[in-house]
Chains A and B, each alone.
Chain A
Amino acid sequence: MYPGATADRTEANFVVVGAPLDASTTFAPGTRFGPRRIRHFSETFDDYDHRTDRRFTDCSVHDAGDVHAWDAVDEYLEFLEGTLRDVHWDDAVPLLLGGEHTVSAAGAGAVDPDVFVCLDAHLDLRSEYDGNPLSHACVTRRILDPDDYDDAPDIDVQEAIILGARTGSEEEWQWASENDVTVVPPDEAAEFVPQLEDRLEGREAYLSVDIDGADPAYAPGTGTMEPFGLEPRTMRDVVRAVAPYATGFDAVEVNDRDDGQAASLAGKLLREFVFSRVDALE
Chain B
Amino acid sequence: MAKQQKEVRDLGEGGYVLIDDAACKIDSYSTAKPGKHGSAKARIEARGVFDGKRRSLSQPVDAKIWVPIINRKQGQIVSVDGNDMQVMDLETYETITMRIPEDVDASPDDNIEYLEMEGQRKIV
Residues of A within 8 A of B (CB): 67-68, 70, 72, 75-76, 78-79, 82-83, 85-86, 89
Contacts and interface: CB of A to CB of B under 8 A. Distances in A.
Contacts of A79: 30-32, 43
Contact of A82 (B33, B34, B35, B43): B43
Contacts of B107: none
Given A68-B38, A83-B43, A78 B30 contact: yes
Q: Which 8 A-B pairs have the closest CB atoms?
A: A70-B33, A82-B43, A79-B30, A68-B35, A78-B30, A79-B32, A86-B56, A68-B38
A184 to B, nearest CB: 36
B97 interface: no
Contacts of B58: 82-83, 86
A222 to B, nearest CB: 25
Nearest to A68: B35
A168 B13 CA distance: 40
A166 B38 CA distance: 40
Contacts of A75: 30-31, 33
A78 B33 CA distance: 12
Contacts of B28: 82
Interface residues of B, number: 13
Interface of B: 28, 30-35, 38, 43, 45, 54, 56, 58
B45 A82 contact: yes
A89 B56 contact: yes
Contacts of A82: 28, 30, 43, 45, 56, 58
Nearest to A75: B30
Contacts of B33: 68, 70, 72, 75-76
A79 B33 CA distance: 10
A67 B56 contact: no
A75 B34 CA distance: 13
Contacts of A72: 33
Given A79-B43, A82-B43, A83-B43, A67 B54 contact: no
Nearest to B37: A68
A102 B31 CA distance: 19
Nearest to B35: A68
16 contacts: A68-B32, A68-B34, A68-B35, A68-B38, A70-B33, A70-B35, A72-B33, A75-B30, A75-B33, A78-B30, A79-B32, A82-B28, A83-B43, A86-B56, A86-B58, A89-B56
Nearest to B56: A86
Nearest to B28: A82
Given A75-B31, A86-B56, 17 more contacts: A68-B34, A68-B38, A70-B32, A70-B33, A72-B33, A75-B33, A76-B32, A79-B30, A79-B31, A79-B32, A79-B43, A82-B28, A82-B43, A82-B45, A85-B56, A86-B58, A89-B54
Contacts of B45: 82, 85
Contacts of A86: 43, 56, 58
Contacts of A70: 32-33, 35
Contacts of B34: 68
A241 B114 CA distance: 52
A88 to B, nearest CB: 11
B46 to A, nearest CB: 12
A205 B30 CA distance: 27
Nearest to A82: B43
